Each structure stands twice: as C-alpha cells, then as structure tokens.
Structure 1
Amino acid sequence: MGQSSSARHRRNLTRPSQISSSMMDGSSKGTDLVQEDGVIEGHDYISSIPDDVLSSIFNNLSTSDRKISAVVCKRWLIVEGQGRNRLVLNARQELLPIIPTIFTRFDSVTKLVLRCDRRSVSIDDESLIQISLRCQNLSRLKLRGCRELTDVGLAAFSKNTKYLKKFSTGSCLFGVKGMNAVLENCKYLEELSIKRHHGVLEPVSPDFIASDSLKTICFREIYNGHCFGPLIIGAKNLKRLKILRCMGDWDRIFQTMSTRKDNPIMEIVLERIQLTDAGLESISRYTNLETLHLVKTPECTDMGLISVAENCKKLRKLHIDGWRMNRIGNHDGLVNIANHCSNLQELVLISVNPSSESLEELATKCKTLERLALCGIETMGDIEISCIAEKCVELKKICIKGCPITDKGVEAFAWGCPNLVKIKVKKCRDVSGKVIDKLKARRMNLVVSMDSIQIEPESVVDDGGDGGDGGESEPTASSSSSNGGSGSGSVFNTRFGLLAFTFRRWSIGGGGRSV
C-alpha cells in the first residue's frame, strides 16, 4: 500500500544469468530476489567476509567496540582473538587458573602487559612460566607491580621467550640474577627499561657482557642505579641512554664509556642525577650525539656545556633546565652553543638566565632552529622576543611560559618567523587575549594557544601523533582560567617538566604507541 507499480516491479526484477546459474546448481536460492544493484535479498553477506578482512576491520575499532563485536557470534570471537597482537592483563594471583583459556583464545599475542595493583597480590613464578610457554613469540613485555616474581621465574621465562625485543619492568623485586638471565637468553633484546626497581642490592656482574643488539636503556627512580654501570658499559651498540632520578656517581661510568672508539650513542637524557662537569666533558667525546637533555643537574655548569658544544657537532636537540641555580645556560654556555652547533633544530631553556646577547647569537647563527621553548626565564622580555621573531627564519613552533613579556612581544610574531605554524603562551601575566586578533589578522593559518584559550584553523592539523615510548597516555597540565588570576609566585612555582612531552610530540609530528 502506498507503493507505485514501478517500485513493486523493481523489487521483483531478477537477472537472467543469476536465475539460470541458480537453477543449474539445483539450489533453492534461485528463488532469492535480486535487486537492480545486484544485492540478493536474504543473503548473508557478512558470513562471506574472509577472516583476514574481518581481522583488519577489528584492528581499526576501539577497544570497547572490539569487545562488543567479539560476542556477536562464535566465528567473530575466534577471529578477534587470533588477530589481537597486544594484550593487557590484571596480573593478580587469581590469573593462574585461567591462563590456558586466555591464551588459547589469544594465541597470536606478541605484546603483553602485566599490571598488578599495589594492594593486591601479584602473579608468581608459576604464572609467568605458564604464560611464557604459550607466548614463545613474544616480542614486548611490560611488568608493573609484579612483586611476587623472583629471579627463578624470570630466568625460566627468558629461556622460553628468546625473541623478546623490548623488556620493561617497574616496581618489581627480582634481583640481578633474573636481570642477567633476560640479557643472556634474549639475544634480540633491543630496549631495556627499569623503573622504581627495589630488588637490585648489588652491582650487575662486571663479567657479564650485554647483548650486542641492546640499543636503548632507561633507568628511572632507582635508589642504587649506579649498580647497573657494568650493563651500560657493556652495551657496545647502545644508542639511547636515559637516566632519571637515580642515585650514584655517574661521572665514572661516562668516563669509562668515553674511551670507546666510534661511540654510537646518539641520545642522552639525564634528570636529577649526580653529574659534574667531568661527566659532561666525557659526554662531549661522544661525537655522534644528537640529543642531550640536562634536567636539574645542579653540579653541571657552563664549562661542561662548552665542552659539549665544541665537540658534539651533530647536536640537533638540546634541553637545559637550570633549576634556578644560575650555573648553566648563561651567557658563555649559550654563546658557544650558537657558535658550534649549527645543526641545532630544537632548543628548550628552562629556569636559566641567558643574556640578550646570547639569545641574539642563538637567533642569528642557529639557522636551522625549528622548535624553541623558553620557560621561567626572568631575563626574557619584549626586546628578546622581538629579536627571535625577526631572526629565527626557520622557526616553526615556539612555546613561551612564565616569562615577563607583554602583548607587544607576542605581536612581533605577526611579522617575523615566516614559517611559524604554532605558538603557545602560558603563564605570562602581562599577555592578554587581545593579541590573538592581531596575530590572526596577518596569519590566518597560525595555531595560537594561550592558557585556557586555543584557536586552531581547520586547515592546520595539530601534530599530536603517537609518542615513541610508546603507548602510554600523555600527561596533561591544568591551565589557569585567566592570565592574571595567579600571583607572580605561582608563575615561578609552576613545574615545567611537562614541556618535554610537548616537544616530543612536536619533533615526532615534524619528522613524520609501544607497549
């Protein structure tokens, strides 16, 4: 009722070739109705989707949508499980009885995360061994809060997962023997990350030589992190070294490493460790060094920074947090950076006191500078900002935080820095939102972010791509509701540690998750 005769006629149209083929097969499907577009009414097209195509569809769904889709039918449940490569499990002791069931369904897992809450009892050695027997192709493993694991369980695990490439542990209690077993049995290990580890009470065996494949080492918040010195020294092909908040005498370790010929280290990140100018002088002998972060190392001065500048000609990324000690990042150090590091692309200065002359030298001589951050710098005013806007021709992204600048200084970017695509101004009390209109009047495609205000044109996409560390959520900082709402003390009490995450995103996006 209400349908035209032509519509009823189209619905009953069938194609002669399809009718004849169905009749030749003797199939009752010959009575299915075929529309003009070739769609057969009553035919189950979803069931005919190949497994590999279905798996590819699942991989593009969110986690919640994927879980819902997996319970549609038995076939989807099997395909979804076989196509899942990354798995995150709550590693409580109750996991042991269901390990066979879990890894029968998820039999293609290569990236595994085992997390346990500090209030719960974690899995023990038996559970870890059972997992290793069912995931012998595991390439990445992350352990968090698994305090019941011992050296015995980790040694047995490493024998069954010889293709492990990335191993990360945090808040665990196994000791040196278990760590050595992983390094000895996993010949393809490339990345090692140890965070808040409390089981290492004696140095790693000095006779043990790390695998030649080890390229990245990260130590974070380890009370006696210097015990891993032999491991660092033994990694002959090490390219990236990160030491954050680890106690110990690190000068000696860097001095020993500096005796190598053709040292391959390209990236060093140091935060709150005991390091002096002697250590920086040793680091200056790493001629392949491209990235250096010196964050709150109070014993380092401009003398050590000058050594790095004079010898590390390939330096591209430099982060300096002077911690308001007025010992590093001053006039002499920055002038030498400007004179010797002509390939510098990214510069972050936090809580230092550069002079106007040193900033002018950087703006003039670092012609490839693309990313610049200036935070908590009391000597940074409108004149210095205007100089940067005028002379940093290749600058693409700039972040200014907690500096005594005004609208006049920010307005200089409306005419300078022709390649600028993004500007951030945070915690600058004398900068108002009115300057945004002046910037947008001349540069429509410029992305402007000011505290709680962010204006981004549709034509410019923020390059907040996935991070290399991979896979962990990026911290966010709460912004003030107004520019002048907080006092001058709050400006300089602000923690600038999140700035490193901003520039990590920028560098990844400009150049182009992990367990």
Structure 2
Amino acid sequence: MIQQPSSTAGVLMADISDLPDACLAYVFKFLGPTDRKQCSLVSHRWLEIEGQNRHRLSLNAQSNLITFVPSMFTRFDAVTKLSLKCDRRSLSINDESFVSISIRCVNLVRLKLRSCREITVLGMECFASNCSKLKKISIGSCSFGGNGINAVVQNCRFLEELSIKRLRGDSTEMVRSGVVCSSLKMISLKEMCNGQCFGPLISGSKNLKSFRVSRCSGDWDRILEIVANNAKGLVEMHLERLQVSDFGLELVSGCRNLEVLHLLKTPDCSNLGLVSIAERCSLLRKVHIDGWRTNRIDDLGLISVAKYCPNLQELVLISVSITCASLERLGTNCRKLERLALCGIEMIGDVEISCIAAKFSALRKLCIKSCPVSDHGIMVLAVGCPNLVKVKVRKCKGVSSDGVGLLQASRESLIVSLDAIVIENGYQNGSGCNDIVETNDNVGEVANAGGTSRQSMLLKARLGLVSGRCLFRRWLSFNSGSRNR
C-alpha cells in the first residue's frame, strides 16, 4: 500500500523525462509565469527549455538592470515581446542598457516603454536600427520627444501599431512618415500637448485603420481633415476630451468604411456632426457617445443613427438626452443591436425601459447606471427582449434586490447584477464584475462561478449563521444562570 504510489510516481517521472524538448516546450506555453518559474527549477534541462521558449518578458527597468542583461538574455534568447517599466521615482535604464538589450533581441516584434526617462534620441536610434522587425510599440512618460519617434518610423518598416502617451522632450520637431507609411495601421495619442506634430506621419499613413486621440490639447479639426483625406480605409475613430467641432466630424464622415466611433466628452460636437457621420458612414457597428451633460446630442442625432446605420450592434450612451422617440427608432431599424448601455441619463425611467423591452428583440446585454428606474421598470424585462442573457444595474436608487430577485425568478436563465450582487439561478454572490459594455470596445463578462462553488459558499454561510445562533443562545443561558445565582 505504501510502495505503490512511489512506484507510480517513478514511472510518471520516467515518462516525463522521455518527453522530447519540443513537447515539453509546448506544455510550458500553456502555463502562467509563476508555474513556468517553478518548472524551471526542476532540472537544468527544464531550465534551458523554459528559457529558450520564453517569448514574453516584463522587466523592472531601473538603472541597475545593466548588470543582469548579459546573463538574462543569454537564457531568454527567444524573446519577441518585451516590456520595460520603471517607477516614476526611480532612475531608469540609460542608452547603454537599452542598446545592450537591442543587440540581444533582434527578433523583437513588440516593445513597451514606461517611464524610461533616461533613454535619449541616440538610444532610440540604435535600438530601432537593431530591432527593425518591430510591429507594435507603446511609449509612455518618456523624454526623447519627436526625434525619438522619428528614429522608430525611419527604421522599423514593419511597424503596424504606434501608441504614445505623455511624450516629453522637443515639442517642435515634426514626426515624419518614414518607411512605415505603408505598414502603419493604428495610431494612438494620449495626454499630449504637441499631438499635432504627428500630422506628417498621419498624412503619409495611407493604410491607417484605427485613429485614437485622448486628452490632447489644441485644435484637432485640421488633423481630422488630414485623416479623412488620406486614410480612406479608416475603420475606427476614438475621440475623447478634444477640441473638435461639427466641422471636424463632417470631415470624418468622408471615411465611408468607418465601423467604430467613440465620441467622448467633446463639448463642441452636436447633433449636426453626428447626423453627418450617420448619413455617410452606414457601416457603423459600435457607437459610444458621452454627451458630458451639454445637451447638444439628443434624439435628433440618434434618430439619424437609427435611420442610416442598420448594422449597429453596440450602443453606449452616457449623459445624453434620449427619450422613447429615438429608442423606438433604434429598436425598429437596428435589428442587430445586441449590446446597450445607458448611463447617467435622467430621462431613462420605467417608460423607456418598457420601450426597450418591447422593441429591442435582438438585445442580449443591457447595462443601466445612474438612471431613475424602479423595480417596476426592471420587471418589464421579464416579458420583453427574448434574447436577453445579462442585465447589469448600477447606482439606480429605485431598484432593490427584491425587484432583481423577482426578475431572476421569472427568467431563470438570465444573469442579473445589482451593484455588488450577482443573482444567477437563485443564488446571490458578491462580485466585482466588469461592465457589460466597456469603453475599450470589449464586452465584459459577468462573474459566473460554478454551481458547486456557489452551493459551497451558501452552505458555509448557513453554517456560520447556525453557529452564531448557538453562541448567542449559550450567551443568553449563561447570563440568565448568573442572574439566578
């Protein structure tokens, strides 16, 4: 009885040791970073195989990293995705360390730099010349300015995605198109005071598919004109907290292939700009609008979206004046609309929810946040929206757990989330679930624990309640006995 497990373990270890290197490497690919580190300690062979097949590496890019570069990249000699992040209060790696890494990572295709303020233009030029196969680069809080970006676009002819955030340095240098003009597909600019210096690069990027600008100062209508005139195949446009007018949106409407539009907190945009885009961009699939309570976008603009965009699948409305007039048109004309989010809209009440339940037959996921909806409005969903699978309610004071429980009881297959409580199949479970519709175009999944785990949690809660009652009874009997004595 005692020797059998050890014999089985010996046979198992023998079988694993007979695995070819390629099979062992294939198994490592499905393990997380912690498990891979533990496996690398099993033997010298496993250490070598794990290192040779580690393609993704994230390093703390402090100044002392230079001492570990030779030994580290001798072991991890197949890295293709590298992340270098430094704390803002620490001294980051310099050009010497950066170039030393580039010599050992010539096959790099993805690079992420965060707060590497000691890297200069010279370091970027050497790195880009050594790692010319880069396809994606993300830069945040660095200090090499536009000249450092020019070094990348002049050497990395395969670059497809360029993300820049809080770039510091020379603010007068224009970023030229370089050799990436035919390969660049995505440009993302965030929190920059000199974002307009990317105009020449945008102008030369004829194959641009996605353009995202967030929290960048200055007038952006002229840049949108450059985008519309040159990137005719643009599919995604993300504009957030920008100085953009209806004239700029009218220019964007020239991109007839536009499918995704995010218009967030742009106070100068109104129904006029949204109507011009809806009339000419009939392929729109996802529309996110944050009106910022300016009341410049309302039913008029949304009725145009309903009229001219029949392929709409996802709609997110934040602080937008919307009533049943536009909801009815959206439900009638947009027969593919599956995901809807209504946030911070004072005009969304029980009547509007009833309209959604009656008209949105294809709706699968619904999010309601900070709206004057009551239990009566939520209960209407029990008989409407036949394809509905998930409902999320947040910060709606008129909706109680009792109303959500009645909705769940009437539609057992429906997953309902009320603030921090997820009610599914009759069980309540605390959860920090994601939004049904997120601002980055991804559809969040509501936390869905297995039935067994929910039952075990419920059982533990009941046992805790019973034990608490027993202790309370003992305390009462003890006190009463003391008084009698």
TM-score category by the smaller chain? 0.7 to 0.9
Distance 1:503 1:400 in 2: 17
Shift of residue 356, structure 1, vs aligned partner:
2.3
Residues 57, 81 of structure 2: 8 Å contact kept:
yes
**Pair 1:264-2:236 in alignment:** no
Distance 1:207 1:344 in 2: 34
**Pair 1:49-2:19 in alignment:** yes
Partner of 1:463: none
Partner of 1:243: 213
Residues 209, 234 of structure 1: 8 Å contact kept:
no
Partner of 2:397: 429
Distance of aligned partners of 1:301 and 1:501 in 2 relative to their CA distance in 1, 3 Å threshold: closer
Q: How does 1:129-168 map to 2 (within 5 A)?
A: 129-168=99-138
Distance 1:404 1:207 in 2: 50
Distance of aligned partners of 1:289 and 1:200 in 2 relative to their CA distance in 1, 3 Å threshold: farther
Q: How many residues are treated as equivalent by the alignment?
A: 442
Partner of 1:443: 411
After TM superposition, where is structure 1 displaced by more than 3 Å over at least 4 residues in a row? 39-43, 205-210
Write the letter of the residue equivalent to 2:390: K
Partner of 1:405: 373
Distance of aligned partners of 1:499 and 1:394 in 2 relative to their CA distance in 1, 3 Å threshold: closer
Shift of residue 146, structure 1, vs aligned partner:
0.3
Residues 176, 200 of structure 1: 8 Å contact kept:
yes
Residues 189, 211 of structure 1: 8 Å contact kept:
no
Shift of residue 156, structure 1, vs aligned partner:
0.7
Partner of 2:470: none
Q: Tell me, which stretches of 5 or more residues in structure 1 are unaligned?
A: 12-34, 459-475, 479-495, 508-515
Partner of 2:159: 189
Classify the secondary structure of the residue corresponding to 1:504: coil
Distance 1:230 1:145 in 2: 26
Write the letter of the residue equivalent to 2:295: N
Partner of 1:466: none
Q: TM-score, normalised by structure 1?
A: 0.81
Distance of aligned partners of 1:209 and 1:256 in 2 relative to their CA distance in 1, 3 Å threshold: farther
Distance 2:339 2:272 in 1: 25
Partner of 1:500: 438
Write the letter of the residue equivalent to 1:353: S
Partner of 2:145: 175
Q: Deviations over 1:318-345 (max 9, x none)?
A: 00000001112x1211111111111111
Determine which of 58, 73, 78 is the counterpart of 1:88: 58
Partner of 1:218: 188
Determine which of 23, 39, 47 is the counterpart of 1:69: 39
Distance 2:201 2:171 in 1: 15
Partner of 1:513: none
Determine which of 300, 307, 324 is the counterpart of 2:293: 324
Residues 209, 235 of structure 1: 8 Å contact kept:
no
Q: How does 1:344-493 map to 2 (within 5 A)?
A: 344-457=312-425
Classify the secondary structure of the residue corresponding to 1:252: helix
Shift of residue 257, structure 1, vs aligned partner:
2.8
Residues 187, 213 of structure 1: 8 Å contact kept:
yes
Classify the secondary structure of the residue corresponding to 2:362: coil
Shift of residue 43, structure 1, vs aligned partner:
7.2
Residues 80, 107 of structure 2: 8 Å contact kept:
yes
Classify the secondary structure of the residue corresponding to 1:388: helix
Residues 149, 175 of structure 2: 8 Å contact kept:
no
Distance 1:341 1:278 in 2: 21
Residues 158, 180 of structure 2: 8 Å contact kept:
no
Shift of residue 104, structure 1, vs aligned partner:
0.3
Q: Tell me, which stretches of 5 or more residues in structure 2 are unaligned?
A: 427-431, 446-485
Distance of aligned partners of 1:426 and 1:41 in 2 relative to their CA distance in 1, 3 Å threshold: closer
Classify the secondary structure of the residue corresponding to 1:45: helix
Distance 1:499 1:179 in 2: 34
Write the letter of the residue equivalent to 1:500: E
Determine which of 286, 294, 300 is the counterpart of 2:263: 294
Distance of aligned partners of 1:449 and 1:205 in 2 relative to their CA distance in 1, 3 Å threshold: closer
Shift of residue 57, structure 1, vs aligned partner:
2.2
Determine which of 45, 50, 75 is the counterpart of 1:105: 75
Partner of 1:255: 225
Shift of residue 286, structure 1, vs aligned partner:
0.5
**Pair 1:116-2:60 in alignment:** no
Q: Deviations over 1:375-426 (max 9, x none)?
A: 0101111111101111101001010000001111111111111111100010
Q: Deviations over 1:434-453 (max 9, x none)?
A: 12232223321111111011
Write the letter of the residue equivalent to 1:273: L
Q: Counting helix residues as a fraction of each chain, which structure ranks higher?
A: 2
Partner of 2:481: none
Distance of aligned partners of 1:316 and 1:200 in 2 relative to their CA distance in 1, 3 Å threshold: farther
Distance 1:47 1:211 in 2: 50
Residues 184, 211 of structure 1: 8 Å contact kept:
no
Shift of residue 209, structure 1, vs aligned partner:
6.5
Shift of residue 88, structure 1, vs aligned partner:
0.5
Write the letter of the residue equivalent to 1:412: V
Q: Deviations over 1:240-294 (max 9, x none)?
A: 111010112110111233234x701000011001100010000111100000000
Distance 1:362 1:40 in 2: 66
Distance 1:238 1:223 in 2: 23
Distance 1:499 1:340 in 2: 23
Distance of aligned partners of 1:204 and 1:303 in 2 relative to their CA distance in 1, 3 Å threshold: same
Partner of 2:466: none
Write the letter of the residue equivalent to 1:424: K
Shift of residue 202, structure 1, vs aligned partner:
1.3
RMSD (Å), alpha carbons: 2.7
Residues 282, 308 of structure 2: 8 Å contact kept:
yes
Residues 240, 267 of structure 1: 8 Å contact kept:
yes
Distance 1:452 1:477 in 2: 8
Classify the secondary structure of the residue corresponding to 1:253: helix
Write the letter of the residue equivalent to 1:289: L
Q: Which moved more, 1:39-48 or 1:349-358?
A: 39-48
